[in-house]
Chain A
Amino acid sequence: MSIVTVQLGQCGNQIGHEVFNAICSDVHGTHGLCSKKENESYHDACKERFFSEEESEVPVARAVLVDMEPKVISQTLSIAARSGYWKYDGRSHFCQKQGSGNNWANGYSVHGPRHKEVIMNLVQKEAEKCDRLGGFFTIMSMAGGTGSGLGAFVTQCLRDAFPTSFILNHVIWPYGTGEVIVQNYNSVLTLSHLYQSSDALLVHENDVIHKICAQLMKIKQISFRDVNQVIAHQLGSVFQPTYTAEGGLHYSRNPLGDLMETLVPHPEFKMLGLRNIPQMPENSLPYSTFSWPGLVKHLRQMLIANAKMEEGIDWQVRPPQLGSSIPSSHSTNKPLHFNTSIANLVILRGKDMHNVDLGSFRDPSLYTSWLNPQDAFNAWKTPRAFNKYEKSASLVSNSQFLLKPLDNVVGKAWNMFASKAYIHQYTKFGIEEEDFLDSFTALEQVISSYTIL
């Protein structure tokens, strides 16, 4: 089954481009460290998932590029084509000239309806190219106007036009100290709307990735390109082919469906966080070795301590003792900083992953009580190494990972809303105070739900 990627706005297009780069470079790399047969299966599965083969020699990404100003798309198309390894379909993009002015209302209420037909036609065309459509992957930032506002509108349109397809929104959380002053408003409006039409929201926080670039990748002058490449690597580590069943003979054909099935049992809980280890500068790789037990141990502690990366993990945090008299639904009795999960997915890539002991992830004390622990945890594996890392492990988690960031964003937006600052900019395009209140209410509900896990 194939995934159609919709790249929205500057951020979405810049990241989307890096994602296809990372996937392609992984597939063509010689560091698969597995049998030729394995490599070929991997290659074929990846191709089906992300690329269509047209008359051209070069694989064509299954993607639709949307932006309300032309510069980014024009750059993205030409850089991709120059790589020689892959390219975008030259007709599969839509842009305008004005931009959205960082205004969610402009993206959602003006650009959305105005360009709905053209955009959905492009999506339809890509969908038709797929033998079997596995779903949609949209990439957007929540801070601006196009990715956020138009992105929310397009997601709704996708849901209406493809009611049975899976939709996964990849959402970029902006830096805490502003890239955009109205980013908290835009974020609140985006998240509340996506929650209604999307199946799940996979989040990357710029602040976190920035730290990874600085402390783990040791990059001195970090550019957005560096940030985007780390994000692309992490996404690739989730979406490249894997075996989802123990002893499976074929690479899974339905990654989005599998993801939703394992991680989103309840529509109230759609916030997914992502961790990937190890991360290090490329030139350090030949000098490093990792063991699966070591990686698993780190990843688990990152989960329960809500660590954003593999350095600075708080090893003091322990899961609560089960069977004690403290009712587990009372959040204040939970150990401080302990991150409660609904469901987790671990993905292992590299040789000898067959016998890796993942029992520590099945510990019921990690999870909220209303899911059977057997269902709450899943593992996907492949012996094929990913992107030059001999061994790598990823965690996609539906847990309290994003509770604090969400609470922060809502808090800041509410603080600004109380003063009514900037509201006139939104009402100008048809988003009224009541719409804001609806969004705040929806997100306070989500926060509340995750808090009492």
Chain B
Amino acid sequence: PVSLPSAVGQCGNQVGCRFWDLALREHAAVNKKGIYDESLSSFFRNVDTRSGGDGPDIYKGKICSLKARALLIDMEEGVVNEILQGPLRDVFDSKQLITDVSGSGNNWAVGHKLYGYQYRENIVEKLRKTAEHCDCLQCFFIIHSMGGGTGSGLGTFVLNLLEDEFPEVYRFVTSVYPSGEDDVITSPYNSVLAMKELNEHADCVLPIENESLFDIVNKIHQMIDSGKLGSTVKQNSLVTSSAGSTKTVQEKPFDAMNNIVANLLLNLTSSARFEGSLNMDLNEISMNLVPFPRLHYLVSSLTPLYTLADVNVPSRRLDQMFSDAFSRDHQLIQADPKHSLYLACALLVRGNVQVSDLRRNIERLKPSLHFVSWNQEGWKTGLCSVPPVGRSHSLLALANNTCVKPTFIELKDRFMKLYKKKAHLHHYLHIDGMEQSCFSEAISSLSDLIEEYNELDATKGGPRTDPSRLKIAV
């Protein structure tokens, strides 16, 4: 089944760029014969370019020219232009790009209302064209940040659009949330306005915090520099690495962090693309991890962060991988799931890991985790045979856990600080289509969401009384 990522805004496109690069690397490592197959078709079309220009799609046989199934949207040209001049230029064509020059000024209203209105037809048309090439479109991915104007505003506009135009296709959103020290003053406004859209129109959201990505990058550097691992770490196994991909230039500062997010997306879709003894598709992730429609925010963690060069992996190290997935060091957002309530948890394992390894570790880790009373054994598991490049195995854990609540409460607090003083409001309200009610509705939506988590938290640790069963007349 096919996934169609749309990168919106600067952050989204920088992550997107890393994603496409690593996706090519991953498929190149698996697909030695250069035959266009089912797994490649998840993300790439195979196009006949011999006839010049953009020829028809070729569904079988040798790979001719791979084109990413993607939409790149930015209201500034910088990032997208760089992509088009870089080694990935042949993977995209102009029909997949929507750019403008002036940017959104870190203003959600400019992104959502102004550019949304202006580019709606263009976006719909390009989406339709791209979707037409897909044999079976299962999922849209939106990659964006919440704190700015384009990714946040236009990104959530696109989300709305996807629901209207393609209601049957799943919508997964990877959102980078701003930190407290974010240098964009209006990021709380942008984020809360965007949150309302995510609440109402996304099937699943994977919140990411730069702070976590930064910590992971640092942790890896520390390990390498400290000489504890020294030269025994396989460079291309680093979850932050671009090694082996097309990049030949000096890595940019955010590349390591963006690679982590790119790896998240690759792992998320691995079981849909590659075979395994227990497949896990994206629609299964949505089905199992979203017990109530609005509670669809998933905490993700990736392990291992790197692999040592030795090939033998004793089961002890496998178990360490499972433990690490539940350690805060490996999460992509700052949160504390172990002290909060799990609604559901998914483990997507790649590589030479078998069902007994899964079972052993679930049994081992279960006692230290708090699961909601109606889902005491709520684990969704997947086994994909193909490991990530440079590694023998990997694990992606997705948790629907009330630990996201503090993140949302903080966001609400930061919003209220500005909103009470009406700071910068006029920048938003003077945009056509923006009214005060947009703000009050957005904060209300966020408050309701927080309240839903509160109600669940209230059940934690309480006495378990199972509901009485149906009585049958004998």
Query: Does B94 sit at the interface, judged by CB under 8 A?
Result: no
In the bound complex, residues from chain A placing their C-beta under 8 Å from that of B474 are: 448, 452
- In the bound assembly, the distance between CA atoms of A100 and B1 in angstroms comes to 12
- In the bound assembly, the distance between CA atoms of A430 and B381 in angstroms comes to 26
Most buried by B among A223, A225, A440: A223
Q: Do residues A210 and B355 form an inter-chain contact, with CB atoms below 8 A? A: yes
Q: Do residues B467 and A414 form an inter-chain contact, with CB atoms below 8 A? A: yes
Query: Does A101 sit at the interface, judged by CB under 8 A?
Result: yes
- In the bound assembly, the distance between CA atoms of A75 and B275 in angstroms comes to 8
Query: Does B408 sit at the interface, judged by CB under 8 A?
Result: no
- In the bound assembly, the distance between CA atoms of A444 and B472 in angstroms comes to 7
What's the interface size class on B, roughly? Answer: 35 or more
- B110-150 contacts to A, CB under 8 A, are 135-136, 138
Q: Do residues A224 and B287 form an inter-chain contact, with CB atoms below 8 A? A: no
Q: Do residues B374 and A415 form an inter-chain contact, with CB atoms below 8 A? A: yes
- In the bound assembly, the distance between CA atoms of A145 and B359 in angstroms comes to 22
In the bound complex, residues from chain B placing their C-beta under 8 Å from that of A72 are: 275, 279
In the bound complex, residues from chain A placing their C-beta under 8 Å from that of B289 are: 181
Most buried by B among A14, A145, A181, A416: A181
Query: Does B380 sit at the interface, judged by CB under 8 A?
Result: yes
Q: Do residues A221 and B1 form an inter-chain contact, with CB atoms below 8 A? A: no
Q: Mark A228-271, 1 if CB is under 8 A from B, else 0.
A: 00000000000000000000000000000000000000000000
- From B27-35, B51-59, B95-103, B290-298, the one touching the partner chain is B290-298
Query: Does A373 sit at the interface, judged by CB under 8 A?
Result: no
Q: Do residues B378 and A181 form an inter-chain contact, with CB atoms below 8 A? A: yes
Q: Do residues B379 and A224 form an inter-chain contact, with CB atoms below 8 A? A: no
Query: Does B49 sit at the interface, judged by CB under 8 A?
Result: no
Q: Do residues A416 and B470 form an inter-chain contact, with CB atoms below 8 A? A: no
Q: Do residues B283 and A221 form an inter-chain contact, with CB atoms below 8 A? A: no
- With A70-B38, A97-B135, A414-B469 as contacts: A222 and B355 at CB distance below 8 Å: yes
Query: Does B375 sit at the interface, judged by CB under 8 A?
Result: yes
Q: Do residues B275 and A10 form an inter-chain contact, with CB atoms below 8 A? A: no
- A55-97 contacts to B, CB under 8 A, are 69-72, 74-75, 96-97
Q: What residue in chain A is nearest B362 (Cβ atoms)?
A: A177
| A451 to B: closest C-beta gap in Å | 9
- In the bound assembly, the distance between CA atoms of A223 and B288 in angstroms comes to 23
Q: Do residues B363 and A101 form an inter-chain contact, with CB atoms below 8 A? A: no
Q: Mark A156-182, 1 if CB is under 8 A from B, else 0.
A: 000000000000000000011111111
Q: Do residues A101 and B281 form an inter-chain contact, with CB atoms below 8 A? A: yes
Q: Do residues B357 and A445 form an inter-chain contact, with CB atoms below 8 A? A: no
- In the bound assembly, the distance between CA atoms of A103 and B281 in angstroms comes to 12
Q: Do residues B279 and A421 form an inter-chain contact, with CB atoms below 8 A? A: no
In the bound complex, residues from chain B placing their C-beta under 8 Å from that of A444 are: 469-472
Query: Does B344 sit at the interface, judged by CB under 8 A?
Result: yes
In the bound complex, residues from chain A placing their C-beta under 8 Å from that of B374 are: 415-416, 418-419, 421
Query: Does A214 sit at the interface, judged by CB under 8 A?
Result: yes
Q: Do residues B467 and A224 form an inter-chain contact, with CB atoms below 8 A? A: no
Q: Do residues A101 and B469 form an inter-chain contact, with CB atoms below 8 A? A: no
- In the bound assembly, the distance between CA atoms of A61 and B373 in angstroms comes to 46
In the bound complex, residues from chain A placing their C-beta under 8 Å from that of B291 are: 421-422
Q: Contact check: which of A10, A98, A101, A410 meets B287 at CB < 8 Å?
A: A101
- B453-468 contacts to A, CB under 8 A, are 466-467
In the bound complex, residues from chain A placing their C-beta under 8 Å from that of B363 are: 177
Q: Do residues B279 and A181 form an inter-chain contact, with CB atoms below 8 A? A: no
In the bound complex, residues from chain B placing their C-beta under 8 Å from that of A366 are: none
In the bound complex, residues from chain A placing their C-beta under 8 Å from that of B466 are: 411, 415
Q: Mark B29-47, 1 if CB is under 8 A from A, else 0.
A: 0000000001000000000
In the bound complex, residues from chain B placing their C-beta under 8 Å from that of A424 are: 292-293
- B317-372 contacts to A, CB under 8 A, are 343-344, 354-357, 359, 362-363, 366
In the bound complex, residues from chain A placing their C-beta under 8 Å from that of B290 are: 422, 425
Query: Does B245 sit at the interface, judged by CB under 8 A?
Result: no
Q: What residue in chain A is nearest B138 (Cβ atoms)?
A: A98
Q: Do residues A224 and B278 form an inter-chain contact, with CB atoms below 8 A? A: yes
Query: Does B261 sit at the interface, judged by CB under 8 A?
Result: no
| B353 to A: closest C-beta gap in Å | 9
Q: What total count of A-B pairs have CB within 8 Å?
A: 140
Query: Does A412 sit at the interface, judged by CB under 8 A?
Result: yes
Q: Contact check: which of B277, B288, B467 meets A181 at CB < 8 Å?
A: B288
Q: Do residues A223 and B277 form an inter-chain contact, with CB atoms below 8 A? A: yes
In the bound complex, residues from chain B placing their C-beta under 8 Å from that of A210 are: 355-356, 359
| A258 to B: closest C-beta gap in Å | 32
- In the bound assembly, the distance between CA atoms of A223 and B292 in angstroms comes to 33
In the bound complex, residues from chain A placing their C-beta under 8 Å from that of B1 are: 69, 97-99
In the bound complex, residues from chain A placing their C-beta under 8 Å from that of B283 are: 98-103
Q: Do residues B379 and A177 form an inter-chain contact, with CB atoms below 8 A? A: yes
Q: What residue in chain A is nearest B357 (Cβ atoms)?
A: A221
Query: Does A227 sit at the interface, judged by CB under 8 A?
Result: yes
Q: What residue in chain A is nearest B366 (Cβ atoms)?
A: A177
Q: Do residues A178 and B378 form an inter-chain contact, with CB atoms below 8 A? A: yes
Query: Does A441 sit at the interface, judged by CB under 8 A?
Result: yes
Most buried by B among A100, A411, A422: A422
Query: Does B225 sit at the interface, judged by CB under 8 A?
Result: no
Q: Contact check: which of B278, B315, B344 meets A221 at CB < 8 Å?
A: B315
In the bound complex, residues from chain A placing their C-beta under 8 Å from that of B373 are: 415, 419
Q: Do residues B288 and A448 form an inter-chain contact, with CB atoms below 8 A? A: no
- With A10-B278, A177-B366 as contacts: A99 and B284 at CB distance below 8 Å: yes
In the bound complex, residues from chain B placing their C-beta under 8 Å from that of A422 are: 287, 290-291
- In the bound assembly, the distance between CA atoms of A100 and B288 in angstroms comes to 12
- In the bound assembly, the distance between CA atoms of A101 and B356 in angstroms comes to 24
Query: Does B404 sit at the interface, judged by CB under 8 A?
Result: no
Q: What residue in chain A is nearest B2 (Cβ atoms)?
A: A97
Query: Does B286 sit at the interface, judged by CB under 8 A?
Result: yes
Query: Does B7 sit at the interface, judged by CB under 8 A?
Result: no
- In the bound assembly, the distance between CA atoms of A213 and B356 in angstroms comes to 10
Most buried by A among B138, B289, B356, B381: B356
Q: Contact check: which of B287, B315, B380 meets A103 at CB < 8 Å?
A: B287
In the bound complex, residues from chain B placing their C-beta under 8 Å from that of A103 are: 283, 287
Q: What residue in chain A is nearest B318 (Cβ atoms)?
A: A221
| A433 to B: closest C-beta gap in Å | 13
- With A221-B357, A224-B355, A227-B355 as contacts: A179 and B278 at CB distance below 8 Å: yes
In the bound complex, residues from chain B placing their C-beta under 8 Å from that of A225 are: 277
Between A and B, 12 residue pairs with Cβ closer than 8 Å are A69-B279, A98-B136, A103-B283, A145-B287, A177-B359, A178-B379, A181-B378, A222-B354, A411-B469, A414-B470, A415-B466, A444-B470
Q: Given A421-B374, A441-B472, 17 other A-B contacts at CB below 8 A?
A: A14-B277, A72-B279, A74-B38, A97-B138, A102-B287, A145-B287, A177-B359, A179-B379, A181-B375, A181-B378, A221-B315, A222-B356, A224-B355, A418-B467, A419-B373, A421-B375, A444-B471
**Closest 3 A/B residue pairs (Cβ):** A101-B283, A97-B136, A178-B379
